[in-house]
Amino acid sequence: MRPKVIILRTAGTNCDYETEYAFKLAGARAERVHINRLIEGSVRLDDYDILAIPGGFSYGDDISAGVLLANELRYKLRDQVERFIEEGKLIIGICNGFQVLVKAGLLPRFKGMEGKQLATLHLNDSAKFECRWVYLRLESDRCVFTKGLKPIIYLPVAHAEGKFVAPKDVLDRLEENGQVVFRYVDEEGRIAGYPYNPNGSMRNIAGICDPTGRIFGLMPHPERYVWRYQHPRWTREELPEEGDGLAIFKNAVRYCM
């Protein structure tokens, strides 16, 4: 049976339709669900195989990007989320969803420090909203979502608070554990500054996973590049039919089947 995906949405979420489409294209059954339905109990997280928290500006990014939705997961749905994780299911957070996972303590989720916020996504160094395409270098084979991806992929970003920030010991531990999944790089795969690193993220980190590889967060938007026609140069370059982002969703579906 095809895996079932819950696309969690709330006020301000604006990438839920694209995320639903990407998962359906990858072979899953996907459903957009407002968080209030989980909180009231009319929908149960237990009934799904994959939880996706899409991009957007949940609750208008009041206070800080993703923090209000993170607090709802932490304080209103903690038991459901922890059970979901314990059962070996998958979670992906994209852009605002990545901010939510980090601020809810679901990433990096070091052993013995589960539920603690150890990092954040801060204001871009440019002090402006960055909407551009970036190159990402695959750094680890630990993450379920990125198995077998090309060494360098190309995806769009669209955020104002995407700078990954953490203390040195947290950054070192991420590196040692193989939890750094993507780094921002130039066309040749070399570490580079702005605009290749669009937000000034420490160590050019663009995405991380938990120690199991089943919880994954990234700032770029894989759901916005699933067909060649979404590439900014599709009329000028010979490109495969599938965009670089689709493989991320296919990996998740394949894992759950």
Per-residue tens of pLDDT for the chain, all 257 residues: 899 999 999 999 999 999 999 999 999 999 999 999 999 999 999 999 999 999 999 999 988 999 999 999 999 999 999 999 999 999 999 999 999 999 999 999 999 999 999 999 999 999 999 999 999 999 999 999 999 999 999 999 999 999 999 999 999 999 999 999 999 999 999 999 999 999 999 999 999 999 999 999 999 999 999 999 999 999 999 999 999 999 999 999 999 99
Q: Are 59 and 11 in contact (CB under 8 A)?
A: yes
Separation CA 153–CA 76 (nearest Å): 36
Please tell me the total count of domains within the chain: 1
In CATH, what number is assigned to the domain containing residue 182?
Answer: 3.40.50.880
Enzyme catalytic residues = 95, 221, 223
Q: Are 225 and 154 in contact (CB under 8 A)?
A: yes
* Structural domain of 231: 4-256
Separation CA 146–CA 222 (nearest Å): 11
Closest by CA position to 48, among listed 25, 69, 65, 32: 32
Which residues, at least 6 apart from 120, have a Cβ–Cβ distance to it below 8 Å? 102, 103, 164, 165, 166
Tell me the CA distances in angstroms from 16 to 96, 107, 117, 239, one per residue in order: 11, 21, 25, 26
Q: Are 175 and 204 in contact (CB under 8 A)?
A: no
pTM over 0.95: yes
